[in-house]
Amino acid sequence: MGTPRFEVGAAIENGWRLTRANFWLMAQAAIIFLAVARVPQYVVRQLGGASGIGFSVWIASLVLQVGLVLGLTRLSLRLVDGQPATLALLLGEFSLFFRYLGASLLYGLVVLGGLLLFIVPGIMWAFRFCLYQYALVDRNLGIVASLKASASYTSGARWQLLLLGILCGILNALGFLFFGVGALVTLPVSFLAYATVYRILSGGQPAPVALLPVPPLPSVQPSGS
């Protein structure tokens, strides 16, 4: 049986529709993730990167970021599958920390090795194994098994994944303009687009998205004079 096909535009559109349908949930998740990534950098600069406290803050931030990436992956998969999702999922995947760290290290080494071999193999291998974190979280796989699963799923779809990576990169670059406010939308869209692609390539089918109006922020009535 051949590899399931997906359309890049449809994947990004599904990510956008899911972000709209779950706007406040995904916006809160993005705020938490960006705060964990950015605030410690400021703290470390103030304390001095070489100080013991600064180094401890940097390590704690790195651990939290990895955990939140795994949590965002789980959250995205549940939304793509049409299952209930809450913000608590962000902190629910720390048990996969070391496996994800090992898989990420192996992924980086594979891509680096490919780049040293005339560059093109590295680019192709980057997209061949790019879904490893979704396979690891979704199927609770080990380090090597998650990369093998990604290679199996992405066979025949690597040019589409290259285009998806370029478009998501552009979206997120635009999102970080204007003090990063747009990233509250583009970051969830990217996670959900990749989760959509993973679900299709792994033989599943994303659940239909029922679009609801985004609830307005509470208004403040002016007090009478």
Considering the domain boundaries, does residue 160 fall inside one?
yes
How far apart, in whole angstroms, are the C-alpha atoms of residue 87 and residue 107? 28
Domain count, the chain: 1
User: Using CA atoms, how far apart are residues 55 and 70, in angstroms rounded to an integer?
Assistant: 23
The range of the structural domain enclosing residue 96 comes to 8-201
* 44-58, 77-91, 152-166: range with lowest mean pLDDT: 44-58
Long-range Cβ pairs for the range 146-153 (8 Å, 24+): 146/99, 146/103, 147/103, 147/106, 147/107, 147/110, 149/202, 153/3, 153/198, 153/201, 153/202
**Is there a domain that residue 224 lies in?**
no
Domain assignment present for residue 213? The answer is no
More confident residue, 153 or 214: 153
For residue 62, tell me if it sits in a domain.
Answer: yes
Look at residue 208 and tell me if it is in a domain: no
Q: Is the pLDDT of residue 160 over 80?
A: yes
Q: 80 and 207 in contact (C-beta within 8 Å)?
A: yes
Query: Is 112 domain-assigned?
Result: yes
Q: Is 159 inside a domain boundary?
A: yes
At 213 the pLDDT is 53
Rounded alpha-carbon distances, angstroms, from residue 166 to 12, 169, 218: 12, 5, 37
Mean pLDDT score, 113-137: 86
